[in-house]
């Protein structure tokens, strides 16, 4: 049996980085293209040369909505953030009412914890940041 134990484990590695306080994304060494979500091969080229790099954490809201859940639960934001490096990710913007999150808003990443205590990336408005 071929030993694949040294091959990348993208999902495990992503969440391990996050648990240690690092928001990392992948970059293909050959093309320089950044990739999110984590994969074993780069899109289109199939290159298996994806390496972890620290995300700048800066991004722009590409699309946004408000989940109007039934009371007593309160409405919350879900948005797509275009990272400065190129890829998009689903997340939410915190610290402002969900309906005031706007397309084009500059945001900055922060690592938070979900209801189960798992680390996840959320965003805050990046005041004064260039859009």
Partner 1 sequence: MSGSQERFPRGKTAIVASATYGIGEAPGLSSLDLAVSASTRALSSVGLTPQDVDGLFIGLPDDYLSGLSFTEYLGISPRLTDNNRTGGSSFQTHAIHAALALEAGLCDVALIAYGSNQRTASGKLVSSLKPSPYEGPYKLARPVGGYALAASRYMAQYGLKKEQLGEVALAARRWAQLNPDAFMRDPLTMDEYLGSRIVADPFSVRDCCLVTDGAAAVVMVRADRAKDLAKRPAYVLGGAAAAWHKDITNMPDLTVTAASLSGPRAMAQAGVKPADIDVVEVYDAFTLNTILFLEDLGFCAKGEGAAFVEGGRIAPGGTLPVNTNGGGLSCTHPGMYGLFTMVEAAQQLAGTAGERQVGGARLALAHGNGGELSSQATLILGTEETL
- Site residues, partner 1 (CB under 8 A): 11, 14-15, 36-37, 62-68, 76, 78-80, 88-92, 99, 102-104, 114, 118, 120
Instruction: Please report how close the Cβ of residue 3 comes to partner 1 at its closest, in angstroms.
Output: 26
Cβ(67)–Cβ(53) under 8 Å? no
Alpha helix ranges (H) inside the chain: 10-19
Cβ(112)–Cβ(119) under 8 Å? yes
CB of 2 or CB of 71, closer to partner 1: 71
Query: Do the bridges between strand 76-83 and strand 88-91 make them parallel or antiparallel, or are there none, so unpaired?
Result: antiparallel
CB of 14 or CB of 34, closer to partner 1: 14
CB of 40 or CB of 63, closer to partner 1: 63
């Amino acid at each position: 049996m071929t030993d694949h134990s040294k091959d990348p484990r993208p999902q495990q590695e992503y969440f391990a980085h996050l648990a240690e306080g690092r928001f990392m994304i992948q970059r293909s060494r050959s093309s320089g293209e950044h990739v999110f979500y984590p994969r074993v091969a780069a899109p289109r080229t199939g290159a298996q040369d994806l390496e972890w790099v620290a995300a700048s954490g800066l991004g722009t809201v590409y699309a946004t909505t408000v989940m109007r859940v039934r009371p007593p639960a309160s409405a919350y934001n879900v948005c797509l953030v275009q990272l400065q490096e190129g890829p998009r990710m689903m997340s939410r913007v915190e610290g402002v009412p969900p309906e005031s999150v706007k397309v084009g808003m500059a945001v900055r990443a922060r690592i938070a914890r979900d209801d189960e205590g798992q680390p996840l990336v959320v965003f805050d408005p990046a005041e004064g940041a260039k859009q």
